[in-house]
Each structure stands twice: as C-alpha cells, then as structure tokens.
Amino acid sequence: MNTEFRTIVQPLKGYQGLVSHEQPVVMLGSCFTDNVGGCLLGGGFPACVNPCGTLYNPASIASALLDILYERPYTRDDLFQHEGLWHSWSHHSRFSGPDPDAVVEHINKSQAEASEALSKASALFITFGTSWIFRLTEEGRVVANCHKKPATLFQREMLNTQKVYGLWKKMLRELQARYPALKTVFTVSPIRHLADGAHGNQASKSTLLLAIDQLTQEFKDTSLYFPAYEIMMDDLRDYRFYAADMLHPSPVAVAYIYDKFCESFMTQATVMKALQAEREARRAAHRPLHPTSPANPE
C-alpha cells in the first residue's frame, strides 16, 4: 500500500548539467514558459524567454522559431493597424505600439537576441499550450494572436496529431542540421483551456502529448519530454495548488515544478549558484527604511 496517498512524478535522469550559467537556453511557448523562464532569470541564468511573446499553439511556435533560426527581418509590411496600435500577427501584444517603426525595431531586436542565444544554447525548451489555432479566413495563415480583431475574420480549428508531428519533424531536422549538439525539450503547459469544456481541453492536450511522444521517439538523441503537465495533473492533484481562477498553477505549484526542473537539468553546484544569485537579487531589491542608519553604511 502506498501510504503517501499521492503520485510523485520523479525528475528526469541523465540530463543534469543541461542547464547551467555557462550556456544560454532559449524558451518558447505558453505563459507557463514565462513562469519557468522567470525562475531561471531570477537565478542568474542566461535565458532567452519568449522572444516573440507568449505563444500557445505548435504552428505559431514553429513559425516563430523558423524566423529566429533564419533571422528573417520584419518590416512595416508585416504589421497591421487596429484601434490606434500597430500589431504583428506573429507576435504577442506586448510588441504592439502606436509607432510602426518602433514596433518593427522592437521585434527585430528581440529576434536578433534570440538568434544569437540559439546559436550558443545548450537547450531549447518548447511548451505547447493548445492544439487549437486561429486562421485568417482570407489569407489562410495561422495567427499567434488575434489582437481583439472581430471573430468573423478567423476560422478556428484543432490541429490533429499528425499535423503537429509533421510540423515539428521538419523543425527538428532543421535544428539538427544547424545545431547538432542542441537538445530540444518539449513540455505541455499544465494550464487548462476550458473554452471547449473539460473534454475539449483533454482532447487538445492529448493531441499535443501524442505528437511529442512520436517526435521524442524518432529524435531520441536530440529531443526529450519534461513532464510539467503530469506533475500538475497527477502529483499536485488538488485545487489548493491552483490560482484563484482554478486554471493556472499557484506560485507554490510553479515553485514545485521548477524544483523538479532543477533536479532534472541542473547539477547541485548549479542549483547552489542559482540560490546565491536569488539571494543577491533580493538584497539588491531591498530598500531600507532609514538608509542613513549605521546599519546601512553604504
């Protein structure tokens, strides 16, 4: 009998040292990427986190990665104007702004930094959030963000397993040819998308999991899967580990998953160095109430 009354998802074995302070990592995907990426940045790691902003579906993530891989420059022709702001269909709204030239400059600067990081990276972390995509009806292109445009402009559809697998099989081959030492780590976001109900969310996540399983079996030497989804769904199967919306992981859950991430991909020396960086950052952020006090000689 299991007296712990829970299912503990164990950290991965054999990948300690993949994440270090010596080499950058690149992270693309859903808002869960921002959660883990924020922890890495807080630990002083050279992490490039969501250089195109938050992306949710495998098609948009693949498109963004191709742009980064081949350093495709953006121009004003890639933007559109809506409600006084200029937007890119391939980027999150944090890149949007009233000045199109500034938007293009921001996009290209972020992309150049990501390209540089990828060329030196030990690992690329990809987090899929959903199998659902929005496609512009007139152009047929998949968009990363609808930017509050009318729903009538889009067709919504769910990618099947073979479509996700086909897209990323090509992507992994491109990465392998360019950066043969790079490891691609897939995750599925534990954040639930309930617009289509609980079953719709499970169907979407299952599609992603099956596609990743095929990919990691075919590309065993260069890709692997980190079970963030399973840690949340099975190990932390309790609503006390959710935020107030009952969809997103709570800070405690994010910290727990990040600990599993560290155990999987870092050496003990790296973990200790990250903890020291976090302590130093907290000290630097601390503002004493009485800066001229003898207790604060500087």
Calpha distance 153→115 (Å, rounded): 32
Which residue range(s) make up the domain with 135? 25-274
Q: How confident is the model at residue 298 (pLDDT cuts 50, 70, 90)?
A: very low
For residue 132, give the H/E element and its range. Answer: strand 132-136
> Is residue 140, in this structure, part of any structural domain at all?
yes
> Is residue 221, in this structure, part of any structural domain at all?
yes
Q: What is the pLDDT of residue 282?
A: 85
Range 67-79 average pLDDT? 97
CATH of the domain at 127: 3.40.50.1110
> Is residue 16, in this structure, part of any structural domain at all?
no
Domain total in the chain: 1
Global model pTM greater than 0.95: no
> Is residue 264, in this structure, part of any structural domain at all?
yes
- Distance (Å) of CA 112 to CA 71, 79, 116, 250: 7, 18, 6, 33
Q: What is the pLDDT of residue 238?
A: 87
| Range in 36-40, 205-209, 277-281 with the lowest mean pLDDT | 277-281
> Is residue 46, in this structure, part of any structural domain at all?
yes
> Is residue 265, in this structure, part of any structural domain at all?
yes
> Is residue 11, in this structure, part of any structural domain at all?
no
What angle is formed at CA 228 by the lines to CA 252 and CA 93, rounded to 5 degrees?
80
